[in-house]
Chain A
Amino acid sequence: MFKFLKEKLSKALNVFKEKAEEEIEEPKEEIKEEVKEKVQVKTEKKKEEKKEEKSVEREIKEEPKKEEKISFIQKIKEKVTTKVIDEEKFEEMFWDLELVLMENNVAVEVIEKIKEDLKMDIVNVPIKRNEISEIVEKTLRKSLEDLLNFEEFNLVEKIKNNDEKPFVIVFFGINGSGKTTTLSKVANLLKKEGLSCVLVAGDTWRKAAIEQIEDWANKLNIKLIKGQYGADPAAIGFDAVAYAKKNKIDVVLMDTAGRQHANVNLMDELKKINRVVKPNLKIFIGESITGNDAVNQAKEFDRAIGIDGIILTKFDADEKGGAVISVSYVTLKPIIYLGCGQNASDLKNFDKEEVIEAILA
């Protein structure tokens, strides 16, 4: 499953090894100071970039983070006294990094995998002690970058290049993750691109699910295809696709009820929707605030019907960004957008630098 990533990681680690061997010859003095300086410059830069509107309070709250960062690097430096890092040393060294990643909401399972991969190349490789911390950080950064370096995913282009109309998108995920809202945001975006859309009220279970999507359809002035509460969502989806075909509509966006991946009956229902509606694109809607369960969620939905792309919501409520790493790591599927608010326009393109900064800074 992680083959793709492993390749990417080992590529990054090769760079690291080359670098380590190159620089091992010429000793540098005062590295300690240099690192410290570098870190401070970086955090200051980050501070500047932060939006002005954020309250003074949050600025203050960032202070300890800066210190943590410095001490993390210092700690690693102090622990390394040998030229070759043995396994025990590595464990010790990585622990601090592990904590940083955990605090930033990367799932433990994913951290362990990253660790194993790093370990393979760092343990028992001769490295200059002064450079160790820097190299580890760089290697990690590089591997995160590679991890998030999926193929450019341009939804609008994809739809426009699709010969056969309509292009059918199904949105699914666990309860309350933001499916209905995100579907509406995407419809809004596509409509602005000149694509004609219909929405499908595929959640016939939750209270007011139909009224909710109806509200959105009215607000966006987009046609909604709906059925009764309790009706078979697959049948409604099927009808909607037929309607779109007949009326030459470009895109069908189908909502589904929230479900726990552990609920086999509801997962079977989703499989049925997939079989009947035959979507061109299956988008998993996850929350950026989800912790370790993000791994299970993404894995199970992927296994059940196959995830083509991911949208993580509630990014505006999250300072950490680790869930992005978790879901990317387990699915190796592109993050298409991030949800960042409750309004129709609160959808933004995925920016990998921003996420990496959030995690490592």
Chain B
Amino acid sequence: MVLDKLSTSLKESLKKLAKSIFLDERAINEFVKEIQKALLKADVNVQLVFDLTSKIKERALKEVKEGNREKIIKIVYEELVEFLGREKSEIKIEKKPFKIMFVGIYGSGKSTTIGKLARYYSKRGYKVATLGLDVHRPAAFEQLRQVSEEAKVKSFIFKDKDPVKIYKKFEKELNEFDIVLIDTAGRDALSKELIEEISLLNKEIKPDEKILVMGADIGQAAKNLAEGFHKSSGVTGIIITKLDGTAKGGGALTGASVTGAKIKFIGLGEKLEDIEVFNPAGFVSRMLGMGDIEALLEKFDTEVSKEQAEDLGKKLLKGEFNFVDLYEQMQTMKKLGPLNKIVEMVPGFGSLNIPKEMFDVQEGKIDKWKDMMASMTKKELEDPDIITTDRIARISSGSGTTTAEVKDLLKQYKQSKKMMKMLKGKDPSKLMKKFRNLKLK
């Protein structure tokens, strides 16, 4: 996903550094320039890129010696992690009601993120409510109502043009909740009226957290935007959305630098479960192609039973993956989220060239697979390679599917097999070690 490109270019530049005959300032400069390019391509603010990389360069010149060229990657990693904050920075719910207000530019994902967090916190035992103060966008109230309903939390909505009035109307009732998630209209730093409105809301509501929601694809506008929001409402946290695309989210680094706030969560899709706690080390690990086992484990914890997770994890890692349990595993995958997101998080797997189609299993397909498999003989199940045109016709009529669909299943099987072959014998802990000892050749 997202950080793949960045990690590739970093890897490329590492290789270049390794190949240079003399490890001199010039070689290091060139490497640093590659890092700069990678960060600029990821939409980090131009000035910030130079600040970040000047530190990296300074350290590299001092610490990287002949024989430990790979240390430069450790320095890059450490400096970036340092910048993002060494620890995970979770939102601490320390009073009741704990009011979190979401601000951000038009369409950045505020209302959707509120739904995700409503679900996230109520799953963890908090009594959550949402409050709709977007009085501008058509059907904003209706959207928040539907989102809250899906998350099974109460929403406070009242059709009025004055957000302060709406807040006042519900103020007392909100006291009964542990967490109140407040939706506001999209706005930008240039529109005076809307900025005044948010300042006023900030003053009246005194939210405990003010979260700036930023899309992963925002470009150099991020700086002025973050400055504008910080000035008007004192941003205390950042959430990056749409990290499931190809954008790299560098704008959020800019946001963090401008506001001094930490990144709290990342959004990875449109569904309510598509959210993860931001993990600085994991984020940077992913950038450098080292995988993020922690985020994977956390996801396992809440989404599937431990047993299931261990089972699937083991099978994945051992490369034991056969046709018969493809269906079952896909079922589990469905709960975990798209396969590409999972694979991405397993150390070492991120660097493999897994066919893209592998990851795009349509949900409806899985049910059909079950039917098709039921129409197969034992022999066919064990050795799908024997399935020829005649057999395809038989299976399709037996299962009420088209021959194209049967062929599709076979294709999927072949791809899975190929992938599992690649993964076979790749013990993640070994991979990690291997990476750390990476001799740059």
Chain A residues, Cβ within 8 Å of B217: 174, 287, 290-291, 293-294, 297
In the complex the two chains form, what is the Cα distance from A99 to B326 in whole Å?
Answer: 50
A126 at the interface (CB under 8 A from B): no
Q: Given A262-B245, A290-B219, is A317 in contact with B250 using a C-beta cutoff of 8 Å?
A: no
A207 touches B143 (CB 8 A): yes
A261 at the interface (CB under 8 A from B): yes
A289 at the interface (CB under 8 A from B): yes
Majority SS at the chain B contact face: loop
Chain A residues, Cβ within 8 Å of B215: 176
Chain B residues, Cβ within 8 Å of A205: 270
Chain A residues, Cβ within 8 Å of B139: 208, 211-212, 214-215
B147 at the interface (CB under 8 A from A): yes
B40 touches A102 (CB 8 A): yes
B107 touches A105 (CB 8 A): no
Chain A nearest CB, measured from B39 CB (Å):
10
In the complex the two chains form, what is the Cα distance from A4 to B165 in whole Å?
Answer: 56
B107 touches A177 (CB 8 A): yes
In the complex, residue of chain B having the shortest beta-carbon distance to the beta carbon of A299: B246
In the complex the two chains form, what is the Cα distance from A109 to B246 in whole Å?
Answer: 14
B109 at the interface (CB under 8 A from A): yes
A316 touches B191 (CB 8 A): yes
B356 at the interface (CB under 8 A from A): yes
In the complex the two chains form, what is the Cα distance from A215 to B143 in whole Å?
Answer: 12
B146 at the interface (CB under 8 A from A): yes
In the complex the two chains form, what is the Cα distance from A105 to B146 in whole Å?
Answer: 36
Per-residue 0/1 for B223-258: is the Cβ within 8 Å of any A Cβ (1 yes, 0 no)?
Answer: 011000000000000000010111110110000000
B12 at the interface (CB under 8 A from A): no
B360 touches A264 (CB 8 A): yes
A178 at the interface (CB under 8 A from B): yes
Chain A nearest CB, measured from B353 CB (Å):
16
B91 at the interface (CB under 8 A from A): no
In the complex the two chains form, what is the Cα distance from A83 to B220 in whole Å?
Answer: 36
Chain B nearest CB, measured from A171 CB (Å):
14
Chain B nearest CB, measured from A338 CB (Å):
14
B109 touches A175 (CB 8 A): yes
In the complex the two chains form, what is the Cα distance from A162 to B190 in whole Å?
Answer: 40
Cβ-defined partner of B106 (8 Å) among A176, A219, A294 = A176
In the complex the two chains form, what is the Cα distance from A354 to B329 in whole Å?
Answer: 55
B41-49, B202-210, B306-314, B427-435 - interface stretch: B41-49
Total number of A residues with any Cβ neighbor in B under 8 Å = 49
A71 at the interface (CB under 8 A from B): no
In the complex the two chains form, what is the Cα distance from A323 to B248 in whole Å?
Answer: 16
Per-residue 0/1 for B389-428: is the Cβ within 8 Å of any A Cβ (1 yes, 0 no)?
Answer: 0000000000000000000000000000000000000000
In the complex, residue of chain B having the shortest beta-carbon distance to the beta carbon of A219: B138
Chain A nearest CB, measured from B394 CB (Å):
28
In the complex the two chains form, what is the Cα distance from A318 to B220 in whole Å?
Answer: 9
B150 touches A342 (CB 8 A): no
A265 touches B362 (CB 8 A): yes
Cβ-defined partner of B221 (8 Å) among A55, A176, A178, A318 = A318
Chain B residues, Cβ within 8 Å of A314: 105-107, 188
Q: Given A289-B218, A322-B219, is A317 in contact with B105 using a C-beta cutoff of 8 Å?
A: yes
A291 touches B250 (CB 8 A): yes
Per-residue 0/1 for B353-390: is the Cβ within 8 Å of any A Cβ (1 yes, 0 no)?
Answer: 00011011010000000000000000000000000000
B137 touches A342 (CB 8 A): yes
In the complex, residue of chain A having the shortest beta-carbon distance to the beta carbon of B50: A99
Chain A nearest CB, measured from B194 CB (Å):
10
In the complex the two chains form, what is the Cα distance from A320 to B270 in whole Å?
Answer: 29
B142 at the interface (CB under 8 A from A): yes
A208 touches B142 (CB 8 A): yes
A44 at the interface (CB under 8 A from B): no
Chain B residues, Cβ within 8 Å of A178: 106-107
In the complex the two chains form, what is the Cα distance from A300 to B397 in whole Å?
Answer: 37
In the complex the two chains form, what is the Cα distance from A317 to B192 in whole Å?
Answer: 11
A317 touches B106 (CB 8 A): yes
Q: Given A108-B37, A262-B1, is A319 in contact with B192 using a C-beta cutoff of 8 Å?
A: no
A206 at the interface (CB under 8 A from B): yes
B184 at the interface (CB under 8 A from A): no
A316 touches B188 (CB 8 A): yes
In the complex the two chains form, what is the Cα distance from A102 to B109 in whole Å?
Answer: 26
A291 touches B109 (CB 8 A): no
The bracket for how many chain B residues form the interface is 35 or more
Q: Which residues 284-327 in A have Cβ within 8 Å of B in the complex?
A: 287, 289-294, 296-297, 314, 316-320, 322-323
In the complex the two chains form, what is the Cα distance from A262 to B106 in whole Å?
Answer: 22
In the complex the two chains form, what is the Cα distance from A74 to B29 in whole Å?
Answer: 25
In the complex the two chains form, what is the Cα distance from A174 to B244 in whole Å?
Answer: 11
B245 touches A103 (CB 8 A): no
In the complex, residue of chain A having the shortest beta-carbon distance to the beta carbon of B145: A208
A90 at the interface (CB under 8 A from B): no
Q: Given A102-B40, A102-B46, A264-B356, is A289 in contact with B142 using a C-beta cutoff of 8 Å?
A: no
Per-residue 0/1 for B97-116: is the Cβ within 8 Å of any A Cβ (1 yes, 0 no)?
Answer: 00000000111110110010
A175 touches B188 (CB 8 A): no
In the complex the two chains form, what is the Cα distance from A103 to B48 in whole Å?
Answer: 11
Per-residue 0/1 for B106-142: is the Cβ within 8 Å of any A Cβ (1 yes, 0 no)?
Answer: 1111011001000000000000000000001111101
Cβ-defined partner of A342 (8 Å) among B1, B106, B115 = B106
Chain B residues, Cβ within 8 Å of A103: 46, 220
In the complex the two chains form, what is the Cα distance from A361 to B150 in whole Å?
Answer: 49
A216 touches B138 (CB 8 A): yes
A260 at the interface (CB under 8 A from B): yes
Chain A residues, Cβ within 8 Å of B362: 265
B245 touches A290 (CB 8 A): no
Cβ-defined partner of A105 (8 Å) among B1, B115, B220, B360 = B220
Top 6 A-B pairs, shortest CB-CB distance: A291-B219, A176-B107, A317-B188, A208-B143, A215-B138, A291-B43
A175-B270, A264-B360, A317-B105 known; 11 new pairs, CB 8 Å cut-off, are A99-B46, A108-B40, A108-B41, A207-B112, A212-B143, A215-B139, A289-B219, A291-B251, A296-B246, A317-B225, A319-B221
Interface residues of B (CB under 8 A from A): 1, 37, 40-43, 46, 105-109, 111-112, 115, 136-140, 142-143, 145-147, 150, 188-192, 215-222, 224-225, 242, 244-248, 250-251, 270, 356-357, 359-360, 362
Listed A/B pairs (17) with beta-carbon separation below 8 Å:
A55-B192, A103-B46, A105-B219, A107-B41, A176-B215, A178-B106, A207-B112, A208-B145, A212-B138, A214-B139, A287-B217, A289-B225, A291-B220, A291-B247, A297-B245, A314-B106, A317-B105
